Chain A
Amino acid sequence: MPQRRHLVASAIVVLLLALLALLPLAGSRYAVDLATEVLIYALFALSLNVIIGFTGNISFGHAAYFAIGGYACAILLTTYNWPLLFALPAAVVLAGLVAAVVGYFCVRLTQIYFAMLTLAFAMLVWGVAFKWKAVTGGDDGFTGIKLPAMLAHYIGFFYFTLAVVSVGTAALWVICHSAFGLTLVAVRENAVRAGFIGVDTRRMRWAAFTVAGTFGGLAGALFGMYHRGMYIENAFWTESANVLIMVLLGGIYSFVGPIFGAAALHLLQTFTNQYTPYWPTVLGLILLVIVMVLPEGLIGLAARLKARRGKP
């Protein structure tokens, strides 16, 4: 039985990738751009879920690593003229390093104190991006990011994003389903018990924090390159809240949940904006529904529907 499930899952993944790869053939530039945006947010949400879903702590400051990755990649590419081959990995490593330092302090706390500390560090990053005008452009933003000619075309960039996000997602899947990932779940479920078994819970959570920051940085780097600009708003707490809602909407107890959450929220936001400027109202309603009716997100809903159908 589990083997059959794996087979079905692999088939779905392959089918989805094939569909995405064929998307540019449909000829709609808009659809390709939208898919690129969704892919980037999906990776961002997946990275955050390593902290939320697997260690059970809420981070209110995940935009910090997104911004560090984005700004670092933008600055290395544009100000220092680094080739993408070095700029992108360097930006990701930098985001990971900062996450490691911040995480070192944050994992000493749990629950609300943890969340507050992540928020505090994120506002610190925002402050640096705002004040360090000579390097980051301050609140004018950092625009005019240079890209290799191959990625300057939207289809080239789409395939690049698809490849990077696929590799990133695969890497996160392996990490989350390794012994390390399972240990994290154990820590989430009962930290005291996990500690008694001999798990260094703090170190586990620290590692998870670093992994999340690293992949968040990767998403940020893609985001900056896609928009050809990074802005201090990307480091602000509202961006952290946005990705948090994506994760909650998708479902925190499932690996793929955040992907669906990111797609649903971003597409909904984009389409709503075409009809009314009152997106915040819609967002409020979505949040309400998640908290009151769908605590386990879209994935939880799907599972519930399936279970109901399964009954005689």
Chain B
Amino acid sequence: MKYSVMLAAVGVFAAGAAVAQQPIRIGVLYPLTGGGAVYGVPAMAGHQLAVEELNAKGGILGRKIESIERDDKLNPASASSTMKELITKDKVDIVLGGLASSVGLAMSEVSKQEKVVYISTIPKSIQITTDKLHKYVFRTSANTDQEGDTMAMLAGKNKLSKICHLELDYAYGNDLEVGILKALPKYAPDAKIVLTLKPKLGATDFNPFIPQVMAAGCDGVLSGLWGPHFVSWVKQAAPLGFFNKIKWISGGEIGSHEIAGELKGEYPDNVISNAYELWYHGNDPSHAAFQARLAKKLNTQETPQWAALGYIGVMYAAAAMEKAKSTDPDKVAEALEGLSIGTPVGKLTIDAKTHQANIGQFWGPMVKKPDRAYRIMEPAEYIQPK
């Protein structure tokens, strides 16, 4: 008995010594206030969930993880200052996050200057993994070329011949347009874009645009109107019978439950869109368990898709450090090149050359269900870039 107590004491001391080791510090920035908070707060929840789970299993390399969380304010200069602070004052080993393209690019710039690895978990700007690519930046979200490619493919599949193109007039919309135009001849060589309209970012009044699209005689719309823009468009266009004949193929994750749950019965027919993750449908055995843990953390069964992106970012950071057996940025960056990990949306691999993960998205039509107040994506096909 005495011995077992002593043994236990020794065990506690040994554990104490391991805990006393410096924790691994992960810096993370998401918009937590203002207009971006709707996306940033759930992403941060996913991030925290991953950190909690890893810590419960003993952390990374036997060291606890300390997550240092900051608001990026959706402002690139502010994000740049805050990221520098995380690196120089808090001595973080890696930085994750971002939402807006400009914030992602600003964070990538700091990562390049400070030689600290940055994993871009939400920003889609293609430049991050092309023109502005450098050794220390990686992306685990989709990019506008992938999204545009799939939209063009769906345009071909749905045999659209006269297309109206709607994009928001800012970085994401312009980049997505380029991605679509690049891929369209490949999938739908006979399709013609008869009208291109670019409402402003943050626009709420689409009345000047709706009649133009209806009069253009197109059989389908390719759209990059995300979130509130799509919601406003539906509220203004649906009463005019807009969605009766026109197929609406859209990027911007309007197939996610956040939008379906917001519009409920008002969600229109003929919409085909995407989502990073769907709480009611998984493509991987580990999804159900992940979703259950997230539901418990957020206290709702209908969990938001953005959490998965925050979660995957941490998973990648952890896997890379384990593989490198170090937190040294050069070694972690090398470990990330070509790294494959299992995630709630299946196995992902980061390309060694482009630093882009082959994360896919669920695509499918949004359909009514007799037993539900909101639409669901069915069948939801997980389309991953090759």
Contact = CB atoms under 8 A, between A and B. Distances in A.
B93 to A, nearest CB: 16
B113 interface: yes
Contacts of B170: 138-139
Contact of B109 (A30, A133, A228): A228
B351 to A, nearest CB: 22
Interface in A21-40: 29-30, 33-34, 37
A229 B174 contact: no
A143 B106 contact: yes
Interface stretch (A6-14, A43-51, A211-219, A273-281): A273-281
Contacts of B125: 140
Interface residues of A, number: 27
Contacts of B84: 33
Contacts of B127: 140
B299 interface: no
A133 B108 CA distance: 19
Interface in B85-133: 85, 88-89, 101-102, 105-106, 108-110, 112-113, 125, 127, 132
Interface string A231-251: 111100000000000000000
A37 B84 CA distance: 12
Majority secondary structure, A binding face: helix
A37 B334 CA distance: 33
Nearest to B104: A140
B85 A231 contact: no
Given A273-B70, A277-B33, A277-B71, A143 B108 contact: yes
A118 to B, nearest CB: 21
A227 B82 contact: no
Interface in B247-281: none
A139 B84 CA distance: 21
Contacts of B101: 139-140
A295 interface: no
Contacts of B71: 273, 277, 279
A274 B33 CA distance: 14
Given A139-B171, A228-B109, A144 B70 contact: no
A140 B33 contact: no
Contacts of B89: 30
Contacts of B106: 141, 143, 227, 229, 231
Interface in B64-96: 70-71, 73, 75-77, 80-82, 84-85, 88-89
Interface string A270-292: 10011001111000000000000
Interface in B32-77: 32-33, 70-71, 73, 75-77
A223 B77 CA distance: 9
Majority secondary structure, B binding face: helix
B81 A37 contact: yes
B128 to A, nearest CB: 10
Nearest to A278: B33
B33 A231 contact: no
B113 A139 contact: no
Given A143-B108, A270-B81, A277-B71, A231 B102 contact: yes
Contacts of B77: 223, 227, 229, 231, 233-234
B47 to A, nearest CB: 14
A21 to B, nearest CB: 20
A218 to B, nearest CB: 17
A139 B33 contact: no
Contact of A140 (B75, B81, B113, B171): B171
Contacts, number: 79
Nearest to A131: B169
A221 B74 CA distance: 22
B132 A233 contact: no
Contacts of A279: 33, 71, 73
Contacts of A232: 102
Contacts of A270: 81, 85
A233 B33 contact: no
Interface in A106-157: 133, 138-141, 143-144
A33 B82 CA distance: 11
B109 A143 contact: yes
Contacts of A278: 33
B229 to A, nearest CB: 16
Given A141-B106, A233-B75, A233-B76, A277 B32 contact: yes
A232 B132 CA distance: 18
Most buried by A among B70, B71, B88: B88
Contacts of B81: 37, 227, 270
B109 A144 contact: yes
Interface string B194-207: 00000001000000
Interface in A196-234: 223, 227-229, 231-234
A286 to B, nearest CB: 17
A228 B76 CA distance: 11
Nearest to B101: A140
A30 B171 contact: no
Nearest to B76: A231
A30 B88 contact: yes
Nearest to B125: A140
Contacts of A223: 77
Interface in A149-174: none
A285 to B, nearest CB: 16
Contacts of A144: 109, 112, 132
Nearest to B37: A277
Contacts of B105: 140-141, 143, 229
A309 to B, nearest CB: 37
A233 B70 CA distance: 19
B136 to A, nearest CB: 14
Contacts of A233: 75-77, 102
Pairs of residues from A and B, 4 with the lowest C-beta to C-beta distance, nearest first? A277-B71, A30-B89, A277-B32, A231-B76
16 contacts: A37-B81, A133-B174, A138-B170, A139-B201, A140-B171, A143-B106, A144-B109, A144-B132, A227-B81, A228-B110, A233-B77, A273-B82, A277-B32, A277-B33, A277-B73, A279-B71
Interface of A: 29-30, 33-34, 37, 133, 138-141, 143-144, 223, 227-229, 231-234, 270, 273-274, 277-280
Given A140-B105, A140-B171, A277-B33, 4 more contacts: A139-B102, A144-B132, A229-B105, A231-B77
